[in-house]
Structure 1
């Protein structure tokens, strides 16, 4: 088994499992599970560590089953990640969060960002409408106010989403 320790930022660290293999004669004896538990324990002992992550080739069903059973989350499929003997193979990215780590793009955060952007947009529109001069037409052509030309609307950018 091979481990690497990568510093993402001042307050976040990740532990990467580069390689994990068990010889056929020793499979299904809990060796891989014990090794992964040790890695999780090690990562949890680093206060700023937020996750353990790894890649697994898409056809390695026993490994995929093991990581899923151990509560790793499959984050995404990476097309053509591996090149073996001239052949491209897909990979799955798995992550196990520790010390309060979580996906930077959870459904709750996505909804929060969308609501925040909508709220900001509505406030901006309301402010523009309040500042605009309103003229009422003299004829019956329209039933509402006609806004005088104003500076063009400001583009609203919503950021804050990250992808693993």
Structure 2
């Protein structure tokens, strides 16, 4: 029986490369001369440091651009609030969300069931597996999910006949 999985994954190596490119660009830019602007990565948590709010936003823009160039959808970033570190220095943490959260998974299953397509959707950990009798029905359900869920980056993998 044909099936596929709906997942949300981010390549950790690409995130690391984007962080390194951002730090390299920040260290060479004239407007950041003498500042302590940088981005640090711990697994899927990125922390942006800067001297003030304006520079914090500038570093964040550079990071977003590098992530997009590397094929990472910035909708998967969950931005934190800027916080004071010492003196006038500020930092902001951003978490890279991976996996389909349970609320979103339930929403996807509900969308597929309400569509009256002859496919079954089931939640399997951090993924949603969709099974159907025909390949065409699965492709219709992919189109339906793409149209309905646009606020979170999803990938469709393990397409099996």
Which structure shows the higher helix fraction? 2
Give the number of the structure with larger relative contact order, counting CA–CA contacts within 8 Å between residues 6 or more apart.
2
TM-score past 0.5 threshold: no
Structure having the higher Rg: 1
Q: TM-score, normalised by structure 1?
A: 0.30
